[in-house]
């Protein structure tokens, strides 16, 4: 059976937790015939996820440009090409603006904005002529959420970066898009999902009536990664329609 | 593996030879769906069905009664409707100040009232069977500018917002509704203009990916939106190779490009 990514080589950054979007994407891509290099800061954890899929693993911190370059080089050295690069690296940061420190703003910007910029740059350099770069945005970049200024604004900044990168890299036939997941049960949100009041408040704001799963996000990544998506510079909204409504405020978590 | 196996699809606006509707129908058939094609010209639909498969259903998309009958007939013949695509359109080019009330009425009837009644007819059918996916073919010009295209652009943009509104209301019944916005695409609607040397040279500069779209690009996006893998609703997918990042050529750009092509040909 022909896979939808047969012969493609993909790098996925942010795949150290089996419950993560990165790991779900890796499972989906592997099932569709892609060769994978999985990466994360935690080398041992990502190696475990990779081993289960017959993929290779590499330590990589998105804020270190030399490590991103090395990650892309691994794809070229091992498989002779790089077709797909997916970035899920993220850092949680919350709290009212008036209480958010400069360090928190800097850390969110460093990972989500500077990191994404360097990721796109290094992956595109390795791709040469043709490829698909996908980076994780957020529901919170689409509907402005009180208490998430550092997180949401740094994600939204990266979305503008995606548009400019797409405009520039189109000439190399490299497509650049982001995926904005809704409130998704994953490694990063497990703490929130443990609270029924949070789940109730969010569910009221989701037209399709259920939370998005890491598999939903992986399916969207698969479409963007395949040769079937004549689309670039876009934020692909996998919020199940929540961007039509709103993000609940903390005082509604009762 | 067929990605739409077991699905029942209705595609309206599929009477034009090799138009977007027919490209979508061919792809859906290849992905294992049962397909009904609808439009005004029954002979053209019958010819398509004889060659490609599926069934043909009559529809004048400017009349509510005809839309209702099309949806009812399709649901009866296929046993339900899981996927519905509106690929009708009228690419009128007319300066804003010269657009007549009759032209505006005709445009509203096809591109705003038609989709409105289409959604009204589909919601009870899909809601009653536990859900479905509705796809509205919009246009990049619902977001970006193009000259002499006001009636077309305004009705496409209005329908995009209708898509959001109806998606918001009926998601809980399992119905997903999205738009696709192609840019200039090689179809019968654009064939005449595209045949003029220099015209498409002017357009292609607006495409970061270095080419304009094909009906097959749109059909591929329809498969994604129609499949159970797509957890998306109320969105407008910009399937136009990045055109919205740059924009369409102005009328002056096109005229200059045509003049340059004429000069090249000597």
DSSP of B41-81: -HHHHHHHHHHH-SEEEE--TT-HHHHHHHHHHHHHHHTS-
A208 touching B (Cβ < 8 Å): yes
pLDDT of residue A237: 98
A22 touching B (Cβ < 8 Å): no
Question: Residue range A85-94: average pLDDT?
Answer: 94
A129 touching B (Cβ < 8 Å): no
Check B242 against A170: CB less than 8 A apart. Answer: yes
Please write the tens of the pLDDT for every residue from B28-70.
999 999 999 999 999 999 999 999 999 999 999 999 999 999 9
Question: Residue range B191-215: average pLDDT?
Answer: 94
Please write the tens of the pLDDT for every residue from B223-239.
999 999 999 999 999 99
* Dihedral, CA of residue B7, residue B10, residue B15 and residue B17, to nearest 10: -30
The answer to which of A158-172, B31-45, B220-234, B252-266 has the lowest mean pLDDT is B252-266
- Angle among Cα B82, B84, B89 to the nearest 5 degrees reads 175
The rounded distance, in Å, linking the Cα atoms of A159 and A24 is 22
Q: If you count them, how many residues does chain B have?
A: 266
Task: Please enumerate in sequence order all residues whose Cβ is within 8 A of that of A230, keeping only pairs 6 or more positions apart, or say none.
Answer: B209, B213, B214, B217, B220, B221, B239, B240, B241
As a whole number of angstroms, the longest Cα–Cα distance in chain B is 64
The residue annotated as part of the active site, out of A88, A151, A202, A211, is: A151
**In which element (H, E) is residue B28 found?**
helix B20-30
Task: Please enumerate in sequence order all residues whose Cβ is within 8 A of that of A183, keeping only pairs 6 or more positions apart, or say none.
Answer: A139, A189, A192, A202, A206, A211, A212, A239, A242
pLDDT of residue B1: 64
* Dihedral, CA of residue A122, residue A126, residue A131 and residue A134, to nearest 10: -20
A6 touching B (Cβ < 8 Å): no
Q: What is the pTM of this model?
A: 0.96
A180 touching B (Cβ < 8 Å): no
- Per-residue pLDDT band for A187 (boundaries 50, 70, 90) equals confident
A104 touching B (Cβ < 8 Å): no
A153 touching B (Cβ < 8 Å): no
- The alpha-carbon gap from B32 to the nearest alpha carbon of chain A, in Å, equals 15
For residue A188, pLDDT over 90 is answered with no
In chain B, residues with a C-beta closer than 8 Å to the C-beta of A213 are: 231
The rounded distance, in Å, linking the Cα atoms of B23 and B238 is 18
- Per-residue pLDDT band for A93 (boundaries 50, 70, 90) equals confident
ipTM of the complex: 0.94
Which residues of B form the catalytic set? Answer: 152
Classify B194 as helix, strand or coil.
helix
Check B217 against A241: CB less than 8 A apart. Answer: no
The rounded distance, in Å, linking the Cα atoms of A50 and A55 is 5
Closest CB to B220: pick one of A163, A228, A237.
A228
Check B241 against A230: CB less than 8 A apart. Answer: yes
- Per-residue pLDDT band for A1 (boundaries 50, 70, 90) equals low
In chain B, residues with a C-beta closer than 8 Å to the C-beta of A223 are: 224, 229-230
For residue B210, pLDDT over 80 is answered with yes
Establish whether A151 is a catalytic residue.
Answer: yes
For residue B188, pLDDT over 90 is answered with no
A233 touching B (Cβ < 8 Å): yes
For residue B24, pLDDT over 60 is answered with yes
Q: How many CB atoms lie within 10 A of CB A54?
A: 9
Question: Residue range A194-206: average pLDDT?
Answer: 95
The rounded distance, in Å, linking the Cα atoms of B238 and B140 is 7
Please write the tens of the pLDDT for every residue from B81-95.
999 999 999 999 999
Check B217 against A166: CB less than 8 A apart. Answer: no
Check B171 against A230: CB less than 8 A apart. Answer: no
In chain A, the N- to C-terminal Cα span, in Å, equals 50
- Per-residue pLDDT band for A186 (boundaries 50, 70, 90) equals confident
- Per-residue pLDDT band for B187 (boundaries 50, 70, 90) equals confident
Q: Calculate the average pLDDT of chain A.
A: 96
B1: burial class by Cβ within 10 Å (0-12, 13-18, 19+)? exposed
Chain B interface, Cβ < 8 Å to A: 1, 164, 167-172, 174, 176, 207-210, 213-214, 217, 220-221, 223-224, 229-235, 237-242, 244-246
For residue A99, pLDDT over 90 is answered with yes
Please write the tens of the pLDDT for every residue from B153-184.
999 999 999 999 999 999 999 999 999 999 99
Question: Residue range A73-81: average pLDDT?
Answer: 97
Q: How many CB atoms lie within 10 A of CB A101?
A: 11
Check A167 against B232: CB less than 8 A apart. Answer: no
The rounded distance, in Å, linking the Cα atoms of B160 and B181 is 10
């Amino acid at each position: 059976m022909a896979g939808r990514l047969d012969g493609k080589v993909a790098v996925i950054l942010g795949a150290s937790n089996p419950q993560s979007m990165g790991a779900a994407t890796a499972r989906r891509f592997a099932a569709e015939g892609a060769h994978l290099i999985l990466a994360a800061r935690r080398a041992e954890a990502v190696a475990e996820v990779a081993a289960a899929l017959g993929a290779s693993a590499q330590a990589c911190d998105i804020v270190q440009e030399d490590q991103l370059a090395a990650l892309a080089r691994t794809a070229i050295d091992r498989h002779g090409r790089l077709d797909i690069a997916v970035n899920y690296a993220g850092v949680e940061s919350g709290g009212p603006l008036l209480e958010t420190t400069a360090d928190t703003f800097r850390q969110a910007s460093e990972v989500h904005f500077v990191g994404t910029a360097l990721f796109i740059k290094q992956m595109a350099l390795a791709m040469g002529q043709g490829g698909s770069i996908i980076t994780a945005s957020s529901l919170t970049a689409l509907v402005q959420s009180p208490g998430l200024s550092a997180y949401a604004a740094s994600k939204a900044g990266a979305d503008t970066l995606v548009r400019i990168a797409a405009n520039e890299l189109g000439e190399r036939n490299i497509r650049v898009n982001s995926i904005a997941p809704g409130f998704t049960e994953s490694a990063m949100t497990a703490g929130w999902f443990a609270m029924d009041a949070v789940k109730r408040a969010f569910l009221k704001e989701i037209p399709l009536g259920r939370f998005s799963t890491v598999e939903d996000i992986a399916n969207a990544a698969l479409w963007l990664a395949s040769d079937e998506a004549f689309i670039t510079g876009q934020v692909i909204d996998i919020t199940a329609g929540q961007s039509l409504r709103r993000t609940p405020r903390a005082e509604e978590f009762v | 593996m067929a990605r739409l196996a077991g699905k029942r699809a209705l595609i309206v606006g599929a009477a034009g030879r090799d138009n977007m509707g027919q490209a979508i129908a061919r792809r859906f058939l290849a992905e294992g769906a049962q397909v009904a094609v609808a439009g005004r010209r029954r002979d053209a639909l019958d010819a398509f069905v004889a060659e490609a498969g599926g069934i043909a259903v009559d529809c004048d998309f400017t009349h509510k009664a005809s839309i209702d009958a099309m949806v009812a007939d399709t649901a009866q013949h296929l046993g339900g409707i899981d996927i519905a695509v509106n690929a009708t359109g009228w690419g009128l080019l007319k300066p804003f100040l010269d657009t007549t009330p009759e032209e505006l009425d005709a445009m509203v009837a096809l591109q705003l009232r038609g989709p409105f009644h289409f959604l009204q007819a589909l919601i009870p059918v899909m809601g009653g069977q536990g859900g479905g996916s509705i796809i509205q073919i919009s246009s990049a010009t619902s977001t970006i500018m193009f000259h002499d295209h006001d009636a077309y652009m305004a009705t496409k943009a209005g329908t995009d917002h209708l898509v959001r509104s109806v998606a918001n209301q009926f998601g809980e019944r399992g119905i997903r509704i999205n738009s696709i916005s192609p840019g200039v695409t090689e179809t019968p609607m654009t064939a005449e203009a595209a045949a003029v040397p220099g015209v498409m040279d002017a357009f292609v500069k607006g495409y970061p990916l270095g080419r304009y779209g094909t009906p097959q690009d749109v059909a591929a996006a329809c498969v994604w939106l129609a499949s159970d893998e797509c957890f998306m609703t109320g969105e407008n997918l910009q399937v136009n190779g990045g055109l919205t990042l740059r924009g369409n050529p102005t009328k002056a750009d096109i005229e200059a490009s045509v003049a340059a092509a004429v000069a090249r040909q000597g």
